[in-house]
Every structure is written in structure tokens, then in C-alpha cells.
Structure 1
């Protein structure tokens, strides 16, 4: 009978077995250690602007060309909406002031803040359904900031943000229903909003990963305060006229103007 070759090298087998067991043991210990510690990536440090050097960008967005005639909106499908406007409601997609200022323009810093992480505001932003309009029509909020959705009307509305980057959602809200609370997790400019019940109701939401944005007033003015000194691309967005951008450099404790103009189409 030939001897079993395994018994020729008992020492070698013992060493190999020990090494194999040792590797498995170390692997198990490492896995268990990681599970116990529950290591989580460190959060990005929050950038805070030094008040001693904080700057401001301000300006006006203007409209040039023939001022459009007010367009009546047909609300006849809902008598309550007609009554809210005493029979006459006008389209608000193009709001031009007496001196050519353009309202409802979303203005924000597009470039110049790379690498900076800002705290999420604790205060909520509100969009109301009042008089069968969304109020405000154009609004902004930061990523993760709470959006409160309110219905102040005696009729049921529906709010439907048609997001492409964030999650799209669609909810009805009746008279007296509780406030809805929603958030957006990614930057997206802009998110169109509609009411599936009243097809003339529209709004636009700008979601930005920093606090430097504004909606122009009816006279076209805006202010972006408390910026760190630097060079920035300021971009203005309008729902029918498109986008315009301008590069602005602002020094410590200084102010800079960012005036933009949209031409009639």
C-alpha cells in the first residue's frame, strides 16, 4: 500500500491551516470592528462669511421694447375664482414696471462659490394658493430647506412641481387642509409648477445650494447681501425671456452693481 502523501508533510499542513485561520480571523475581526464603530463620512464644514469683509451685489433687471398689453385670463370654469378677481384676471407671465423694471425674475449666483458649503436655513419658504393664483409666482429656496404649501382659497387646488432633477410630486389640497411640508434634495433651476385643476395657475421654484438668490420686485430691483469678496457670475432667469448673465467682482466690505436687460421677443 502506498503511503498517503498528506502524511508526509504534517508540519507544512499545520502551518498552512494556521495561516488560513489567521486570515479568516483577521477578516472577521475587521468586519466586526467596522460594524461596531459605524464609521460615517465626516460632514462638510459649513462656510461662514466674515461680517468684517461681507459684500453686497445689487442691481436692476430691465425690459426693453414694446410693453405688452395685459392679457385676460379665462377663469370661467370656476365661478369662485372669477368672483375672487371681480370678473377680470390678467396674465402675470410678464410684469413690467412703469420705468421698465422687470418683475418676477429669479436672480442667483451661478459661479464663484465652488467649494463652499452653506448651512441649510431653518426658516421655511411658503407658497400659497390664493385668489386662484400661486403666490409668489417665482420663488427660491435652498437645497433641504422646507417649502410650506398653503391653500387660502375656498376651493380645492392641486400643486404639481414638474421637477426633472428632483423628485416630481403632485398633491391636491382642499379648503382648510393642513399645510404641506416638502423639501428638494438637489439644485434645480427652475422647476415649473402647475395646478391640474386650474390650468392658468403657474409658478416657478429655484432650488439653489447656497443662500445667494432673489426674485426681482415689480420695479426690477434685487439685492444679494452678505457675500464673501470675489468674482461671480450673476444669472437672471425669466419664464418667457430666458437667461442673462453678467460677471461681477466685489471687494471686501464693498458693493457692486449687476444690471441686466431683457429685450422684447
Structure 2
């Protein structure tokens, strides 16, 4: 298995396939994978020696590629207009502090959904939440302390970034939506957006380092639209 870091640009392709696309009757789905093309550079090293509780040998992991698949990409529908009624808030989303890293590093929330931040490390962290340059909170969290729970983080379209000033390489991002049609890629680069009404959608693929790319995709009733986003290393200068 090879995991590396790469700076990439995005292209998209689409296909339509028959099959059980969604649990909701009369709807379709979008399903795909985010991949990379080309040789990625090495993951920048991080000096973790000042805290013996933090494992060594891990880099910054700003952009992570595993077996050709890109992690930490938020794929979401961009609605032409806000929904007529706000979505029901699901259970809290959870971000853990594990091995002195935020896991997962990218999370999507709907408006009104709570965020839990848990310290699973045998060391002290502080959790600073920023909306652009505005500090929303800055709270210490000792080993074994209760989860930090935040709610009403912002408005649809906002992205709240999380930081630990004790371990400055730690960062995560929380994107807020007025609908539930989003997913974040894991190590396999895969994503699924189910329960979509038939129609043509603008789909955004957002990465905190690589930025946002968009693609127009058509969803048909009872079908799965297959989407592939391919990132390629920029040409050498």
C-alpha cells in the first residue's frame, strides 16, 4: 500500500447505470470515486518530538493519496435554492483527536447538527474553532476530559476550521449545509449521494488544500449516476 501527498487539478466524467440507486422511492443517486494521476511528492515531515505522547513518523497529511485514491474530499450537491424546510438534524458528528491528529479531518454538518470533539490521546490538546479569521472558541481538553460539544456553528456555506495550538500541525474542517446531500471520501476515495430527486445537479468536490471543482451531473429515477473525479499533478515548470 502506498500513501503519499500530492497537489492536483480536477477533471470529471459521468456515466449512468441501472441498479438499486437509493432507499427512497422515486429517487436516484450519484456514486463515484476521487482518484489521482501521476507521481505524488512525499508527505512533508512534521517535528513531533516536543510531545512524547505524539507518535513520530507521520507527516502533515495535508493531501493524502492511498493506492491512487484521494482522501478528505467533500463531495456535495449545490442547490439552486435553499430547501423549503430545514433538514432534520441527525445525531452529532464526531471528530476524535487520535495520535495527535484530527480524525476525520473533513466533516460535513447540516444546520442545527451538533459537533462532538473527543480527546482520545494521553496528552493535553486545545481546540480552537475559527470562521475565517474570527475565533469562535478556544477550549482546553485534557486527557480523559468530556467531549467538547458545539452547536449552531454557522450558516450554510460556512467552513469552520479546527486547530490545536499545542500541536500546530493539527487541523480539521467542518462544512455547514442546508441539506444532507454530501459525503466525504475516505482512504478508498469513494462517495455516494443517495435520495436525490431526478434532475440535473451541480456537484462540488471540495478539498481544504486543493480547493473546489464542479461538475454537472444528471440523476434519473431508479438509476445511479456514476461520477469520477481525477486529480493530476501539475506540469513541471
Q: TM-score, normalised by structure 2?
A: 0.82
> Structure 1 residues 165 and 201 mapped into 2: Cα distance closer, same or farther (>3 Å)?
closer
Could you say if the C-alpha distance between residues 250 and 113 of structure 1 is closer, same or farther in structure 2, counting changes exceeding 3 Å?
farther
Between Structure 1 and Structure 2, the one with more strand by share is: 2
Partner of 1:130: 98
Unaligned stretches of 5+ residues in structure 2? 1-21
Q: Which residue of 2 aligns with 1:249?
A: 218
Alignment deviations for residues 124-148 of structure 1 (CA, whole Å, 9 cap, x no partner): 1101111111111111111110101
Distance in 2 (alpha carbons) for counterparts of 1:59 and 1:248: 12
The answer to whether structure 1 residue 159 and structure 2 residue 132 are counterparts is no
CA 1:249–1:240 in structure 2 vs 1: closer, same or farther (change >3 Å)? same
- The correspondence for 2:138, drawn from 162, 170, 183, is 170
Q: In the alignment, which residue of structure 1 is the partner of 2:204?
A: 235
Q: What TM-score, normalized by structure 1, do the two folds share?
A: 0.74
Task: Find the aligned partners of 2:197 and 2:81 in 1 and give their Cα distance.
Answer: 9
* Contact 1:112-1:231 at 8 Å conserved across structures: no
> Is 1:72 aligned with 2:41?
no
User: How many pairs are equivalent?
Assistant: 212
- Name 1:143's counterpart in structure 2: 111
Alignment match, 1:25: none
Q: Secondary structure at the match of 2:53?
A: helix
Tell me if structure 2 keeps the 8 A contact 1:165–1:188: no
CA distance in 2, matches of 1:232, 1:167: 34
Runs (4 or more) in structure 1 with deviation over 3 Å come to: 112-116, 164-167
Tell me, yes or no, if the aligned pair for 2:124 and 2:143 is still in contact at 8 Å: yes
* SS of corresponding position for 2:65: coil
| Range moving further from structure 2, 163-172 or 201-210 | 163-172
Alignment partners' CA distance in 1, 2:185 and 2:170: 20
Q: Is the 8 A contact 1:244 1:260 kept in 2?
A: no
Structure number with greater Rg is 1
CA distance in 1, matches of 2:133, 2:88: 19
Residue in 2 that maps onto 1:12: none
2:183 maps to which residue? 214
User: Are the aligned partners of 2:128 and 2:135 in contact in 1 as well (CA < 8 Å)?
Assistant: no
CA distance in 2, matches of 1:111, 1:155: 42
Is 2:168 the partner of 1:195? no
Shift of 1:50: 9.2
For CA contacts below 8 A with separation 6 or more, give which structure has more relative contact order.
2
* Alignment partner, residue 34 of structure 2: 61
Residue 51, structure 1, aligned to residue 21, structure 2: no
The correspondence for 1:93, drawn from 59, 62, 84, is: 62
3-state DSSP of counterpart to 2:137: coil
CA RMSD of aligned residues (A): 2.2
